[in-house]
């Protein structure tokens, strides 16, 4: 809601799409970008702490098991829209819990296959809509200036 309905959100999106234009209207590009990176890093750190402290109360090697890549794939698929990313992450939480549920219920599927379901679901969730629906590819587009440094002198 904040990203699409406030002046701050418009400025933040402008910095990601066209930092030169944002700088031309007086938006401090470096400050906004630094704030976004620091906020994203803090949220990722909180998610890791939650994973270690509440989901699995003991730290062990490989406990995340590639779940961060699932999160990156979901953000890309949702077109960098936070509400859609939250909804799709709930869907993948359901898929992940389905593998645990299947093992607990004694389904006649090998546990290794059940453990693969979140990763297979991610691949299918990314590939099938992008191949079948060309409009989805446009919705999945990243901000134009994502990953490119901005220098005011090169504007």
- Give dist(CA 77, CA 140) in Å, integer: 5
The pTM of this model reads 0.77
Q: Which of 87, 70, 65 is nearest to 123 (CA)?
A: 70
Query: Would you call 90 exposed, middle or buried from its count of C-beta atoms within 10 A (0-12, 13-18, 19+)?
Result: exposed
Who wins on pLDDT, 28 or 77?
28
Residue 98 has pLDDT above 80, yes or no: yes
Out of 27-36, 88-97, 122-131, give the one with best mean pLDDT. Answer: 27-36
Region 135-146: mean pLDDT is 77
DSSP 60: -
DSSP 64: S
Residue 155 has pLDDT above 70, yes or no: no
pLDDT value at residue 55: 67
pLDDT tens digits, 7-62:
999 999 999 999 999 999 999 999 999 999 999 999 989 988 888 887 667 777 77
User: Six-digit token pair at 43?
Assistant: 């949220």
């Amino acid at each position: 809601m904040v990203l699409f309905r406030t002046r701050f959100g418009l400025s933040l999106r402008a910095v990601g799409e066209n930092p030169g234009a944002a700088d031309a209207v007086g938006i401090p590009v470096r400050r906004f970008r630094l704030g976004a990176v620091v906020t994203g890093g803090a949220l990722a750190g909180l998610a890791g702490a939650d994973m270690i402290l509440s989901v699995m109360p003991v730290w062990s090697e490989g406990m995340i098991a590639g779940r961060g890549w699932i999160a990156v794939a979901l953000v890309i698929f949702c077109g960098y829209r936070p509400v859609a990313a939250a909804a799709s992450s709930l869907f993948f939480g359901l898929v992940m819990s389905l593998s645990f549920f299947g093992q607990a219920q004694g389904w006649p599927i090998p546990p290794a296959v059940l453990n693969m379901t979140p990763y297979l679901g991610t691949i299918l969730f990314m590939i099938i809509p992008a191949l079948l629906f060309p409009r989805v590819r446009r919705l999945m587009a990243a901000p134009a200036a994502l990953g490119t440094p901005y220098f005011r002198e090169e504007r």
